[in-house]
Amino acid sequence: MAKDLVFGIDIGGQSAKYGIVNMGGDVLAQDIWETATPPTDAKEYVDTLARALKALLKKAGVAEDRIFGIGVGAPNGNYYNGCIECAPNLPWAHDKVEFARMLEEKMGIPVKLTNDANAAALGEMKYGVAQGMRNFIMITLGTGVGSGIVIDGKVVYGHDGFAGELGHTIAVRDGRACGCGRNGCLEAYCSSRGVVRTACEWLETSSVPSSLRDVKEITSKAVGEAAAAGDVLAIRVLEYTGTILGESLADFIAFSAPEAIILFGGVTNAGKYLLDPTQKAMEENVLNLWKGKVKLLRSGLNQSDAAILGASALGWEADA
């Protein structure tokens, strides 16, 4: 039987999303494993996941031997050795877990693994706005800030498999404390948590009236919605976020001279309130030779499918 399908799996702290994808990028079937209290043992995690994958095949009426490969996107996933290493949000992966090997043995299907941002870049290249592009940078603005860098049509993995940690370049020297233990990282400002932090700081230190003062739990979504409703403080928070992001993007361009930078993730739902100041700061700060030449784009993928699609793109690289 033709091996014309792949599995795409997106491993997160709160859930694992997985789907069966064809070569055209259609998600034929998908499901989610909510892992609010995930197993603390890696073997148990893999066993449970493998059962879930087989259940999905059965439910979708897909024969197992049609699956060419399994692609996995996971925090701290290492493309070279298929391991997940010291992932802070995965209790079963605080040490080095040979995830790809374990899942491969359990399923009898080749597995390729990378981190979630690299998977997103692959998905964008295969199915999204980066189709046909050979040089671009994907920035994922979610709970954290991740990046996937594509040069000459290939994801950059670097010497050790961990290249592309642009969320942990210093955006503000001696700035805010970051979860990584250092100060001033891009992630501390431009992740959803960073947006919330800016909003909370400003609400506390200023007396500007804001609808956010009535919000019980401030989220980046709430900030985006307040901005769209004309809330001045929320608009300024997103301007500040976008300016810092744009300044950093200008430096990233000097590294790899990409055709485009593609933004993805929940924070981008703020739309023009984030993107306009980002574009402005990027153009103002980039070296003359690139002014007006590098596109700033939003992901072309449906956000709920994107994680599965991105991981699935890697499934086509899996070989026995």
Residues of this chain that bind a copy of itself (CB under 8 A): 134-135, 149, 151-152, 154, 156-166, 168-170, 172-173, 180-182, 247, 250-252, 254-259, 285, 287-290, 293
- Tell me how far apart the alpha carbons of residues 291 and 295 are, in angstroms, rounded to a whole number: 10
Closer residue to a copy of itself in complex, CB, 47/251: 251
Closer residue to a copy of itself in complex, CB, 52/172: 172
Mapped onto helix, strand or coil, the DSSP state of residue 4 is: coil
Closer residue to a copy of itself in complex, CB, 157/202: 157
Smallest distance, Å, CB 77 to a copy of itself? 13
Mapped onto helix, strand or coil, the DSSP state of residue 36 is: coil
Annotate 287-297 with b (16+ C-beta within 10 A) or e (fewer). eeeeeeebebb
Closer residue to a copy of itself in complex, CB, 55/287: 287
Sequence-distant (≥ 6) Cβ neighbours of residue 18 within 8 angstroms = 7, 8, 9, 10, 30, 31, 32, 33, 49, 52, 53, 56, 308
Smallest distance, Å, CB 79 to a copy of itself? 11
Smallest distance, Å, CB 168 to a copy of itself? 5
Sequence-distant (≥ 6) Cβ neighbours of residue 293 within 8 angstroms = none
Smallest distance, Å, CB 76 to a copy of itself? 9
- Tell me how far apart the alpha carbons of residues 34 and 113 are, in angstroms, rounded to a whole number: 20
Smallest distance, Å, CB 138 to a copy of itself? 13
Ramachandran assignment for 136, one of left (phi > 0), alpha (psi -120 to 50 degrees), beta (any other): beta
Q: In 10 A of CB 51, how many CB atoms?
A: 12
Smallest distance, Å, CB 50 to a copy of itself? 29
Closer residue to a copy of itself in complex, CB, 68/252: 252
Q: In 10 A of CB 47, how many CB atoms?
A: 15
Q: Which residues pair with 71 in a beta bridge?
A: 8, 112
- Tell me how far apart the alpha carbons of residues 34 and 298 are, in angstroms, rounded to a whole number: 28
Smallest distance, Å, CB 190 to a copy of itself? 15
Amino acid at 263: L
Smallest distance, Å, CB 156 to a copy of itself? 6
**The two structure tokens encoding residue 28:** 């034929």
Closer residue to a copy of itself in complex, CB, 29/260: 260
Q: In 10 A of CB 230, how many CB atoms?
A: 9
Closer residue to a copy of itself in complex, CB, 163/275: 163
Closer residue to a copy of itself in complex, CB, 232/287: 287
